Amino acid sequence: MNPTMSAVKLTPFRKILIANRGEIALRVMRTAKRLGYETVAVYSTADANARHVREADQAVWIGESQPSQSYLRIDGIIEAAKASGADAVHPGYGFLAENAEFAKACRAAGLVFIGPSPEAIHAMGNKAGAKDIMQKAGVPCVPGYQGEDQSDATMLTAAKRIGFPVMIKAVAGGGGRGMRLVPDEAAFPDSLRAARSEAQNAFGDPHVILERAIVQPRHIEIQVFGDRHGNAIHLGERDCSVQRRHQKLIEEAPSPAVSPELRARMGATAVAAVKAISYEGAGTLEFLLDAAGNYYFMEMNTRLQVEHPVTEAITGLDLVELQLRVAGGEPLPLTQDEVKFSGHAIEVRLCAEDAAHGFMPQSGRMLRWRAPSELRVEDALESGGEIPPFYDSMIAKIISHGATRDEARRRLTAGLAQMSALGVTTNQSFLACSLDHPAFAAGQATTAFIDEHSSDLLGVKTSEGLHTAVAALLVHVSAIGPVHAQQHLGLAHGYPIPMRLNLDGHIVEPTVRRERGDVFRVGLAESEHALTLGARNGDVLHFTSDGVLDSATFVREGADLYFNFAGATSHVRDLSHAAVMKAGDAGSDGKLRASMNGRVVSVLAKAGDTVAAGAPIIVLEAMKMQHVHAAPVSGKLATLNAAEGDQVTTGFVIAEIEATQDAA
């Protein structure tokens, strides 16, 4: 114990308002309740029926669905704390977690902020300021530009001096938002504009910095903790190299690329950095590690991380409990020598997104949710619950722990196969393919992993023929009612029933014929599959194919059916009774449709304009990411049906373009 502890004032509290939502709010609640604290949830209109609202002791509405009108409203959250009688605030991660003004407002209101001081957040939460502190402390940093002059000309000059490829990063950013990798000078102006716009919408600050892009590095972060008694420790590293759009998808601890000696060096660097600013609470220093073993400081996250469960798994510590104890004035309960590591842990982020179409964010109703029974799962999901389009696309975290890395990987792969997330497209299959990929299995994944192996990672885990046959059978069975109440089908040997299905965006036209009893034969263009029905337990159908007993979990709603088979989740739309479109209709009818539920943040053309195919028309924001929607054909922009600020749904016709004669 630090000898000055007796002079340090304790700050006890009894009721914690959690200034966040979803799985992180529930995660904080779990530890807070175990330690005897009361909890208060806050919620937006979109989250009125959310689990974190129901499971808190109290809940306060703080505004409309947009984050700027609710979870980013400092005044609203402070008022909610006062109204509920809360005397402490836990910010979670995202939203206001790294906002120095929020921490300062909590202090001014007499609330204990469960996190670092406003001064530390300001010093290390700002990317430019943090790099300056690290450079003065002798910590290796990525070469770049973090000056006050943000003019286009100055930024371009700096980018050319640094050398392409260059990375643009939002000063106040995190989670990959406001970040662009720019390959060359020609792409720089548009990338700069997009990064600034995204940074302004996500963080209220358009300022950016530039960094040299380190090619194919590892993304390594060090978990640190400090207390107000001058103590600081690190809890080892996490490898977060598997990313898309600069956002992490798979995290593990320890890193397969970090030796004990390198861990000690990086840990000492991190501890020295936080001691230099008298840091209090949980924090993470993020580094890029190149193939030669050189590491470069990127940024510090002055909060709890999404991926903290893998550190908890290998250390046996509850990081939220440490946060609460440190915030109350207690010293850290262990020294660096007492930190022990056991086994290996891996976490995957289940996201509502379509990996096959550029990881496009998705939203809607989760018709069926069943979490793996043998793994740790952090989520706020439930069958029938809505996934709103206003927030981050991550909807659950699945964590495995094993004696070895391969054991942890196998357990996580098995858990993903057991899991059901039906009704909203997720990256479940993509995650399973990533874990199974030889490069990941060998511990060789860098930040280039997804780009290098995308074709492998987007593949179906079973034969396409059998997968299609199962889809056709499930659509047929769900249409005719309970499996064992099919006497109305008539003769034992039925005629082939033609079907037309949209299976994961591809049109297939199988036939289904009842051969005898519970034996069905599904005919495809080049093959035929015999499937024998077994028992049906709720939403699980058992069947035998080629002598192998198997099963699929499915749910149907109208013409849409969602199913999970052999670890792959698919969406099927039954078009058997729909009118057949003429060839080319879908791609050349001149209608620009919204690819997701989202909010129009920018309109880049106006009715009457002549536009070329591929020209940007509007920018939609969904789940905190911006997506440009471009003209499908060249021609005249005849109608524009959306304005800035409008909320549109998937498939909504944003604009109609009258194709020019040349384009036709």
pLDDT in tens, 565-600: 988 889 999 988 765 544 334 445 788 988 777 788
CATH 3.30.700.30 assigned to 464-574: yes
**pLDDT at site 579:** 53
Give residue 137's pLDDT band: very low, low, confident or very high (50, 70, 90).
confident
Element (H, E) at 586: helix 585-588
pLDDT in tens, 435-493: 999 999 999 999 999 999 998 998 655 677 899 999 999 999 887 654 434 433 433 45
What is the arithmetic mean of pLDDT over 195-224?
91
pLDDT at residue 621 above 60?
yes
Give residue 175's pLDDT band: very low, low, confident or very high (50, 70, 90).
low
Q: Do the Cβ atoms of 89 and 106 come closer than 8 Å?
A: yes
Q: Which residues of 44-72 are buried (b: 16+ CB within 10 A; e: fewer)?
A: bebbeebbbbebbebbbebbebbbeebbb
What is the arithmetic mean of pLDDT over 199-207?
87
Find the largest Cα–Cα distance for the chain. Answer: 88
Query: Considering 177, 196, 263, 303, which one is annotated as catalytic?
Result: 303
Active-site residue 303, yes or no? yes
**Which candidate, 32, 31, 2, places its Cα nearest to that of 331?**
2
pLDDT in tens, 408-439: 999 999 999 999 999 999 999 999 999 999 99
Give residue 21's pLDDT band: very low, low, confident or very high (50, 70, 90).
very high
Q: Could you say which of 2.40.50.100, 3.40.50.2300, 3.30.70.120, 3.40.50.1220 is the CATH number of the domain covering 591-659?
A: 2.40.50.100
Q: Do the Cβ atoms of 146 and 211 come closer than 8 Å?
A: no
Cα separation, 178 vs 192, whole angstroms: 9
**pLDDT at site 546:** 83
Cα separation, 546 vs 527, whole angstroms: 13
Torsion of CA 54, 59, 63, 69, to 10 degrees: -90
Start-to-end Cα distance in the chain: 78
Is the previous residue joined to 254 through a cis bond, with omega within 30 degrees of 0? Answer: yes
Domain(s) labelled CATH 3.30.470.20 in the chain stretch across 218-456
**pLDDT at site 659:** 83
Domain(s) labelled CATH 3.40.50.20 in the chain stretch across 15-114
How is domain 143-212 classified at the architecture level of CATH? 2-Layer Sandwich (3.30)
**Which candidate, 524, 522, 502, places its Cα nearest to that of 575?**
502
What is the arithmetic mean of pLDDT over 133-146?
84
pLDDT in tens, 41-54: 999 999 999 999 99
Domain(s) labelled CATH 2.40.50.100 in the chain stretch across 591-659
The CATH T-level fold of domain 218-456 is: D-amino Acid Aminotransferase; Chain A, domain 1 (3.30.470)
Q: Do the Cβ atoms of 97 and 115 come closer than 8 Å?
A: yes
**pLDDT at site 531:** 95
**pLDDT at site 581:** 42
For 379, the token pair is: 């989520």
- Write the CB contacts of 150 (distance below 8 Å, at least 6 apart in sequence): 206, 207, 208
Residues 510-513: contacts with CB under 8 Å, at least 24 apart: 510/468, 510/469, 510/472, 512/472, 512/473, 512/476
Cα separation, 237 vs 308, whole angstroms: 11
What is the arithmetic mean of pLDDT over 182-191?
95
Give residue 623's pLDDT band: very low, low, confident or very high (50, 70, 90).
low
**Which candidate, 371, 361, 362, places its Cα nearest to that of 244?**
361
DSSP for residue 608:
T
Cα separation, 165 vs 27, whole angstroms: 39
Dihedral-angle region of residue 285 (phi above 0 means left; psi in -120 to 50 means alpha; beta otherwise): beta
Cα separation, 304 vs 260, whole angstroms: 24
pLDDT in tens, 299-321: 899 999 999 999 999 999 999 99
pLDDT averaged over the chain?
A: 90
Cα separation, 508 vs 464, whole angstroms: 11
pLDDT in tens, 641-660: 988 888 787 778 899 998 87
Cα separation, 480 vs 493, whole angstroms: 16
**pLDDT at site 23:** 98
Cα separation, 400 vs 621, whole angstroms: 33
Domain(s) labelled CATH 3.30.1490.20 in the chain stretch across 143-212
CB atoms < 10 A from the CB of 149, how many? 10
CB atoms < 10 A from the CB of 1, how many? 11
CA 402 to chain CA centroid, Å, is: 24
CATH number of this structure's domain 15-114: 3.40.50.20
**pLDDT at site 624:** 60
